[in-house]
Amino acid sequence: MYRLPADIVAAADRCPHGHGCLEHGRCGGRPLCAVSYADGRNVLVLADEGDADCPYRVRYGAGQVCACPAHYAIHMRHGA
């Protein structure tokens, strides 16, 4: 589904789902976290405040951010 450079995939080495987003556009058994906007390199401000168990999803102020290099690249290239 998505192709990313090998260095970006390698940088997302804490993915608990084996980079499933690249194959089928999902994070484990659920859709990728919805993004409000990108804010800096590899930082996505998330649209929801769900409780996804992911090492790249962290609380920041009143919201949550995603610091996954693969999700960031997918979002910047495909808007996902």
In the chain, domain spans? 6-78
Output the CA–CA distances (angstroms, integers) from residue 54 to 14, 20, in the order listed: 9, 13
- pTM (2 d.p.): 0.91
* Span 34-80, pLDDT tens digits: 999 999 889 999 998 777 789 999 998 889 999 999 999 999 999 86
Distance CA 51, CA 25 (A): 19
How high is the pLDDT of residue 37?
A: 96
How high is the pLDDT of residue 49?
A: 77
